[in-house]
Structure 1
Amino acid sequence: MNDSPLLSCDARQLGRSLRLWRSLRRLKQGAVAAEMGVSQTTVSRWESGGAAPSLDEQQALRRLMAARLDSAADFELGRLVERAPVPVHLICDLSHRLLAMSRARERHCRLPRAELLGRALWCYATPEIVAQEARLDALGWYEPAPGAVEFDTGAATDQDMPILRSRMRWVRFQLSDGSFVRLVETLPDLPPVT
């Protein structure tokens, strides 16, 4: 499976996310341009959808805007996820890096949570997860108040972070620093196929 988070949203969505992230941090386009080594006009064109960042620039933007559980409220969110009685984990919506995981989800993993934290999980995606990711823009995922997304996925159990045949629920929300996270819940197993 492709381990690149580049499939998480197209360049147009990345520009829209950049504009919101920058405004919440009260950063000017020039500050982002200096950080990225491009002109302010280039940043403006990315944000307006008039130009797309190169693949390397997209990766750099994702690193710049990566979600972190730095504030007290965001840290508490991570603790709530860890204490959840159901299989759930929290990832950065741009990079798919694991930020927090419940013990119920960790029980299915071959590696302990400590070894998975900070790791991009895209490489564990099933074909159904990849297909759902490609539909997110059409589902309004990048709009201000997106609804939860639920879908069925097949199993991929021969990996460090197995995916069980199940129904998944994704919920996207914003952290205090303006970055976006995705809460991923594994719902009860589907009945056997007959």
Structure 2
Amino acid sequence: MNKFEMMAKRYDTPDRLKIATIIADEIRKTISPYHYQTALDFGCGTGLVGLQLKDLFQQMIFTDPSAGMIEQVDQKIAKQDIHNITTLHADLLADSRSDIQVDCIYMSQVLLHIPNTEQVFKGLKPLIKSGGRLVIVDFDQTPSIQSTEIHTGFSHAELTSLAGAAGYTDIAIKTFYHGENLLMNQDSSLFIMEAKI
């Protein structure tokens, strides 16, 4: 059992909810002007970010490779009587899905767990409709952290280059939040990136 399966039932803490709200607000500001109808929450976890965005879209798909995380989301959807979200227990980078086409894919604090960053840009692109966007929130490069398990943040220039090489346009990236003990108990900052298909 991986760490996310073990964490699922106790994942929602006040600190995580606070950061999730900050992230959801920033994603909302970024994508609201486009009036998209459909979205996919890639690596949704327990839905801490995505459930705060449910009013923005007519239909949403929440995906996660952890069955435990999806189970938590399903319980919240049922409890809150939400009708515009469906869940999918899947790893969309490993299992290509030609049946999914959405206006927007967003992901929050997911990229750092994926070894091959380039694969994310290439693998998710076919799921986004023309004119749609990929939106990524994650950590800036944090030199004080050493880890062999996750990325220790990202360079804006590197991500811009990878997105451009994968065929995205109108790429924009900015840091929007600095916080204490954000990543592996170290002070860090969060960026938001958007890239158009």
Tell me the TM-score normalised to structure 1 length: 0.32
Larger radius of gyration: 1
More strand by share: 2
Tell me the TM-score normalised to structure 2 length: 0.32
| Higher RCO structure, 1 or 2 (CA under 8 Å, sep 6+) | 1
